[in-house]
Amino acid sequence: MIAYEKLVEDFEFLDDWEDKYRYVIEIGRDLEDMPESDKTDENKVQGCVSQVWLTYEVDKADPEDPVIRFKGDSDAHIVRGLVAIMLSAYSGKRASEIVKLDENDVFSRLGLIENLTPQRANGLRAMVKRIKQEAAKVAA
């Protein structure tokens, strides 16, 4: 998975949204495939037009504030890239960090919301909401 800061640098280097759009699709191609057995209704993110699934593992080395590693997938190329971007921003962090991470900052640093259709932007917000809900459950 590509590091979030590297994504930010790459997005700043690309001049127009069409190049960024192609890059998002490319990032999605590099996303690890999710096993079909994990593509269940329980793992499906509600609020996305495309199908998006999200799972996670908890590293309990620090039970007070565990690290969470998310996995995700989608049936749409661009959305799969957006899943990869959200995983780079949120996965591998402590539960408390995930809950506090400002998604508007994540979105604005990459210029995502203003360059996506309203349906995709809403789906992206739904994905982040689900990530934060899962992190809040783990932190509780």
Residue numbers annotated as active site: 48
Q: What is the 3-state secondary structure (H, E, C) of the chain?
A: CCCHHHHHHHHHHCCCHHHHHHHHHHHHHHCCCCCHHHCCCCCECCCCCCCEEEEEEEECCCCCCCEEEEEEEECCHHHHHHHHHHHHHHCCEEHHHHHHCCHHHHHHHHCCHHHCCHHHHHHHHHHHHHHHHHHHHHHC
Could you tell me the two tokens for 107? Answer: 């979105």
